[in-house]
């Protein structure tokens, strides 16, 4: 694996690439699907738990992965700054497809919480959009802006027939981001005729990420959320069908 860190246009914004090695022993992977990882953090910070561990989980499934650390904090996180960062990241990935051996028709994006809001904004409002979108306990509605660094648009209002197929995973007991956010986005996808798959678990903390011992410092937290940790496999199965590979 090769890693590369790029500085994007806005101050402090970076894109870290994790590029798997090619090999004649694996001819089916000459060009790989890509996953742009957008961590959460309330637009106040970018969570490490939802960054490199997620990138490594999808790398293990054969993806070249990229972690975006976007504009955060009061003022800097005001829209459309983060959306501009995500658009630039997506253009950078596709623009370097030969160098990084990426199939430009198989570039997905995944976002968590506030990063889920940014991923949904990229998918529904972006001048460039991913080929598939994965939303994990996403902030969607403008009403959630009270707990974020800056007000945000309700991105469900922007879903259209150009919004890519979407995978959603959330927990019903999430006390931070109400499940209504996921349901409203799914409803918008349905009305727009966009293919989607949604998994709502009855139990699970907000910010469960991979829901395993890699991301939880306390064993009891990992155990409490363990029933969710199959979501990555469910997501990859869905992506295989969506990307037809």
**CA-atom Rg of the chain in angstroms:** 17
Residue 75, number of CB atoms within 10 A of its CB: 9
Confidence of residue 245 (pLDDT cuts 50, 70, 90): confident
For residue 165, the 8-state DSSP code is P
- Rounded to whole angstroms, the Cα distance separating 169 from 97 reads 29
Ordered DSSP codes for 126-161? -SS--SEEEEES---SGGGGGGSSS----GGGG--T
- Tell me the mean pLDDT in the region 209-214: 94
How many alpha carbons fall within 13 Å on the CB side of residue 17? Answer: 22
Report which of 73, 89, 83, 79 is spatially closest to residue 37, judged by C-alpha positions. 89
Q: What is the largest CA-CA distance in the chain?
A: 52
**Region at 101 (left for phi over 0; alpha for psi -120 to 50; beta for the rest):** left
- Rounded to whole angstroms, the Cα distance separating 130 from 138 reads 17
Q: Please report the pLDDT score of residue 28 as a whole number.
A: 78
- Tell me the mean pLDDT in the region 117-130: 98
Determine the structural domain holding residue 202 and report its residue range. 2-243
Q: Please report the pLDDT score of residue 217 as a whole number.
A: 87
Residue 23 scores a pLDDT above 90: no
Q: Which residue carries 């976007």 as its tokens?
A: 70
Number of structural domains in the chain: 1
**Adjacent-strand bridge partners of 170:** 200
Residue 236 scores a pLDDT above 90: yes
Q: Is 234 in contact with 122 (CB distance < 8 Å)?
A: no
- Tell me the mean pLDDT in the region 155-169: 98
Residue 27 scores a pLDDT above 90: no
Confidence of residue 128 (pLDDT cuts 50, 70, 90): very high
Q: What is the percent of the chain with per-residue pLDDT over 90, rounded to a whole number?
A: 92
Extract the tokens encoding 51. Answer: 């960054």
Higher pLDDT, 24 or 124: 124
- Indicate the average pLDDT of the chain: 96
Q: Please report the pLDDT score of residue 85 as a whole number.
A: 98
Q: Please report the pLDDT score of residue 29 as a whole number.
A: 83
Q: Please report the pLDDT score of residue 124 as a whole number.
A: 98
- CATH number of domain containing 208: 3.40.50.1820
- Rounded to whole angstroms, the Cα distance separating 113 from 43 reads 9
Report which of 190, 167, 180, 142 is spatially closest to residue 236, judged by C-alpha positions. 167
For residue 50, report the phi and psi dihedrals to the nearest 5 degrees: -110, 20
In terms of DSSP bridges, do strands 14-19 and 64-69 run parallel, antiparallel, or are they unpaired? antiparallel
């Amino acid at each position: 694996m090769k890693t590369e860190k790029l500085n994007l246009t806005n101050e402090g914004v970076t894109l870290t690439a994790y590029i798997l090695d090619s090999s004649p022993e694996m001819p089916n992977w000459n060009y790989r699907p890509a996953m742009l990882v957008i961590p959460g953090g309330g637009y106040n910070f970018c969570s490490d738990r939802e960054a490199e561990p997620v990138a490594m989980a999808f790398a293990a499934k054969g993806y070249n992965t990229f972690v975006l650390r976007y504009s955060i904090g009061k003022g800097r996180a005001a829209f459309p700054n983060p959306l501009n960062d995500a658009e630039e990241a997506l253009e950078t990935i596709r623009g370097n497809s030969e160098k990084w051996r990426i199939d430009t028709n198989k570039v997905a994006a995944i976002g968590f919480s506030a990063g889920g809001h940014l991923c949904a904004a990229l998918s529904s409002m972006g001048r460039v959009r991913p080929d598939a979108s994965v939303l994990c306990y996403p902030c969607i509605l403008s009403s959630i802006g009270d707990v974020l660094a800056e007000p945000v648009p309700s991105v469900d209002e922007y879903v259209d027939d150009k919004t890519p197929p979407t995978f959603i995973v959330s927990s019903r007991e999430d006390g931070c981001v109400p499940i209504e956010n996921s349901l409203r986005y799914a409803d918008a996808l349905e009305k727009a005729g966009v293919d989607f798959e949604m998994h709502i678990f009855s139990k699970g903390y907000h910010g469960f990420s991979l829901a395993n011992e890699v991301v939880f410092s306390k064993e009891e937290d990992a155990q409490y959320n363990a029933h969710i940790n199959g979501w990555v496999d469910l997501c990859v199965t869905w992506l295989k069908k969506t990307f037809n590979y």
